[in-house]
């Protein structure tokens, strides 16, 4: 007996609806969701690239009068988040600008003016950009820059022993107090330069990074570490410790951590070879789960919750990508598709001209070129799945 086609199709549909979802079916649905997300990312990135093309200056960079590092952020974002080829005219011009910052005598990528500061930060982000470009002609420049960065790390050569709270960290330049933000960019650069995880620079950095965590134990014996003991990370362990969530320590000397630095801490621990099961990562993840949000920089008090918001998104997205978790459970056990949620936040905040900027102009986030670079970097981290 041959069934009519309509009846056959209807019966099969009913049968399939009653069967458990197979891994193959789940994969197909997952691929469909990924394709939809990619289209949304493409739409944002296209608008952002069009705005950046209009803003690129005669030197080939963006906001070059403010910092030679902003172009590195934007270029990295365009390549990874915007899927722009290094041969794209706009990207090629920005790469030429970065090439012009190479100082072969010193080894850094921060310009030829010896008065230029921020050499660690600027060189680190420009290493990331040149690495993203993937040109053989840049390999030696990147290797030289990695060697230069290694000399900026606070260690025995600067008279800092492992017991010193400067040890292993990196600041804006060779004379700056080390902090976790600059140290994470330092580690980004080493990773992108292909420096193996066995290099002692990672283990020195691990000492400093671990001391930036509110987690009393064998890796952090600083007096403030156990005051809160919640696993969060602060801005710097150096000089007695400091946080950006408050201007001064609390009355009992505690230093509350906050979201952007806690994700920076997780990312840095992973770069330094710490396993996910380690109490340092588990402690940080518990804090991040309990304080999960992508609408603000958690841990920052009222009036500061938007400070560093786009920096927070690109740092969080990189840490979550490195953790390899397609979804992230909050403190109540609710799982969040963090990639989708970040895309939704960026869609909501993108200006009609294609740029992003933070109305709370702190840490240069009022500069739309820098913030558009941050947003594209976050989108690049989301694409890397």
Residue range(s) defining the domain that contains residue 152: 47-383
**Would you say residue 40 lies in a domain?**
no
> Tokens in use for 167?
């040890």
Calpha distance 241→179 (Å, rounded) = 9
Q: What's the rounded Cα separation, in Å, for the pair 99 and 60? A: 11
- Whether 56 has a pLDDT exceeding 80, the answer reads yes
Q: What is the pLDDT of residue 115?
A: 54
Closest of 323, 218, 308 to residue 270, by C-alpha: 323
Alpha helices by DSSP H, the chain: 5-18, 23-55, 70-80, 89-99, 119-133, 139-152, 180-192, 200-211, 225-228, 259-271, 279-290, 309-323, 338-349, 368-383
Q: Does residue 242 fall inside a structural domain?
A: yes
Give the residue-averaged pLDDT of 108-117: 77
Residue-level pLDDT at 12 = 38
Q: How far is CA 203 from CA 163, 206, 271, 284, 314, in A?
A: 14, 5, 10, 19, 25
What is the structure's pLDDT at 385?
73
Give the 3-state secondary structure of residue 103.
coil
Residue among 125, 110, 119 at smallest CA distance from 80 = 125
Q: Is the residue at 309 inside a domain?
A: yes
Q: What per-residue confidence (pLDDT) applies to 138?
A: 98
Residue 30: what pLDDT? 57
Residue 4 within a domain: no
- Dump pLDDT digits (tens) for 258-275: 999 999 999 999 999 999
**Of 6-10, 132-136, 155-159, 289-293, minimum mean pLDDT range:** 6-10
Indicate the pLDDT class of residue 126, thresholds 50, 70 and 90.
very high
DSSP state of 54: H
Residues in CB range of 68: below 8 A, 6 or more apart? 61, 101, 110, 111, 116, 122, 126
What is the Cα–Cα distance from 314 to 380, expressed in whole angstroms? 9
Q: Over 60: is that where the pLDDT of 25 sits?
A: no
Query: Is 50 exceeded by the pLDDT of residue 1?
Result: no
Q: How many domains does the chain have?
A: 1
pLDDT at residue 196 in the model: 94
pLDDT of 253 above 90: no
Per-residue pLDDT, 31: 64
- Exposed, middle or buried, 2 (CB in 10 Å: 0-12/13-18/19+)? exposed
The three-state DSSP-derived secondary structure of 139-192 is HHHHHHHHHHHHHHCCCHHHCCCCCCCCCCCECCCCCCCCEHHHHHHHHHHHHH
Predicted confidence (pLDDT) at residue 20 exceeds the cutoff of 80: no
Asked if residue 3 is part of any domain, the answer here is no
**Structural domain contains residue 113:** yes
Does 76 fall in a domain?
yes
In a domain, 304, yes or no: yes
Task: Encode pLDDT of 193-238 as tens digits.
Answer: 999 989 999 999 999 999 999 999 999 999 899 999 999 999 999 9
User: If you average pLDDT over every residue of the chain, what do you get?
Assistant: 91
Residues 276-300: b if buried by 16+ CB within 10 A, e if exposed: eeeebbebbbebbbebbebeebbbb
**Secondary structure (DSSP) of 246-274:** SSS--TT------HHHHHHHHHHHHHTT-
215 three-class SS = coil
| pLDDT for 34 | 80
Digit-coded pLDDT (tens) for 307-357: 999 999 999 999 999 999 899 999 999 999 999 999 999 999 999 999 999
Residue 167 pLDDT > 70: yes
Q: What is the pLDDT of residue 27?
A: 43
Tell me the pTM: 0.90
**CATH at 357:** 1.50.10.20
Compute the C-alpha angle 233/275/176, nearest 5°.
Answer: 40
């Amino acid at each position: 007996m041959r069934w009519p086609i309509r009846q056959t199709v209807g019966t099969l549909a009913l049968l399939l609806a009653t069967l458990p979802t197979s891994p193959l079916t789940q994969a197909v649905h997952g691929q469909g969701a990924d394709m939809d997300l990619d289209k949304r990312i493409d739409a944002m990135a296209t608008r952002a690239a069009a705005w950046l093309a209009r803003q690129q200056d005669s030197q080939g960079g963006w906001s070059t009068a403010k910092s030679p590092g902003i172009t590195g952020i934007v270029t990295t974002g365009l390549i990874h988040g915007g899927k722009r080829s290094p041969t794209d005219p706009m990207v090629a011009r920005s790469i030429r600008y970065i090439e012009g910052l190479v100082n072969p005598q010193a080894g850094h990528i921060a310009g030829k003016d010896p008065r230029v500061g921020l050499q660690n930060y600027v060189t680190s982000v420009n290493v990331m950009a040149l690495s993203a470009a993937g040109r053989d002609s840049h390999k030696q420049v990147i290797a030289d820059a990695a060697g230069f960065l290694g000399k900026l790390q606070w260690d025995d050569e600067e008279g800092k022993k492992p017991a010193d709270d400067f040890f292993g960290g990196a600041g804006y330049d060779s004379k700056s107090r080390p902090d976790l933000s600059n140290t994470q960019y330092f580690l980004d650069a080493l990773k992108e330069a292909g420096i193996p995880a066995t290099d002692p620079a990672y283990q020195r950095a691990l000492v400093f990074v671990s001391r930036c965590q509110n987690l009393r134990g064998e890796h952090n014996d600083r007096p403030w570490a156990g005051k809160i003991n919640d696993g969060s990370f602060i801005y710097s362990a150096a000089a007695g410790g400091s946080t950006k969530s408050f201007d001064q320590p609390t009355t009992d000397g505690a230093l509350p951590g906050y979201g952007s630095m806690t994700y920076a801490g997780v990312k840095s621990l992973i770069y330094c070879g710490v396993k996910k099961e380690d109490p340092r990562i588990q402690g940080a993840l518990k804090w991040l789960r309990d304080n999960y949000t992508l609408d603000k920089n958690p841990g920052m008090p009222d009036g500061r919750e938007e400070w560093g918001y786009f920096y927070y998104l690109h740092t969080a997205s990189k840490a979550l990508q490195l953790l390899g978790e397609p979804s992230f459970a909050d403190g109540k056990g609710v799982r969040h598709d963090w990639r989708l949620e970040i895309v939704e936040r960026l869609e909501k905040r993108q200006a009609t001209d294609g740029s992003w900027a933070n109305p709370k102009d702190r840490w240069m986030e009022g500069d739309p070129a820098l913030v558009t670079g941050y947003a594209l970097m976050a989108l690049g981290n989301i694409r890397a799945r």
